[in-house]
Copies of this chain bind each other. A is one copy, B any other.
């Protein structure tokens, strides 16, 4: 017969046809059908103990048979919270951010929070707007690897609180921060390469706006001083860019290539294998992040391993505390671990 919305309980609803907006069946409909007040229905729906079992059952039945679903928006307005966390990342296509996302998603999910995800597509200008926009629809924000300048973030901060910063430190910002000490990772890489006898290394640099790229580059320049001849090769953050930068990296005569992240390292690795450059026999390749692929591709990629999901978990832990009006745990800065695998080997002296 009818397709949808047939109420088999209580009197039919013969009020004027509802205006376009709004819910089909509200708390009042349920209240009417169960012969109680909206307040009681609310209590039942929220499992308040203070309701007579008899009434509770009646309300439940009415709710079910009417197909009543509380409006999350109305609840949000009344409670002053949405049950949503926003997270802004520079690029959803990057496995690193996906892992952070997963970390937040799982942790927040356990606390009944859902994720509002926005991707700034590596556009620093969009970032603050997206962050504000999404924060407005959520109870808090996880700002992941923001590409904006420090001063912009400081300006942005008051409009997006409460929020936590992931993979980026900003001076003069009291927001909880979960970061990674890339310098330490870089030093480990350099020590490893030096030990293998490499003296000419190329760095496939990441997005201009990426602070962690700058960190890695600076640490690299410092670590290389007096040890390596360091070549910077403009690249990016994606597989394809690494693939295409491989030629230029090889042209520098480098015996070791360090990618801004695993994606570009793997892209370059793919290209090298394809054109017959043996890895690690002729050229060594190193990445950053330790995305799942790095472990399962052959040759397995040597990389600076970052606890990606853990970053997400820790971020949520801090945000959750703030949402509970508690003091968030102290900032954490993970020290990444150099994962030596099969893509690095002794320098090829003939190069």
A residues contacting B by CB (< 8 A) are 4-5, 20-22, 67, 69-74, 76-77, 79-84, 92-93, 95, 98-99, 101-102, 105, 109, 114-119, 132-134, 136-137, 158-159, 238-240, 242-243, 266-267, 269-271, 273-274, 292-293, 295-300
Contacts and interface: CB of A to CB of B under 8 A. Distances in A.
B117 A115 contact: yes
A102 B98 contact: no
Nearest to A174: B3
A109 B118 CA distance: 9
A293 to B, nearest CB: 6
B80 A77 contact: no
A84 B136 CA distance: 12
Interface of A: prevailing SS: helix
Given A76-B73, A136-B71, A273-B298, A98 B92 contact: yes
Nearest to A309: B93
Nearest to A5: B158
A143 B133 CA distance: 24
A83 to B, nearest CB: 7
A137 B114 contact: yes
19 contacts: A69-B159, A71-B136, A72-B136, A73-B137, A74-B77, A82-B137, A83-B137, A84-B116, A92-B98, A105-B118, A105-B119, A109-B119, A114-B133, A115-B116, A238-B292, A239-B295, A239-B296, A240-B292, A266-B296
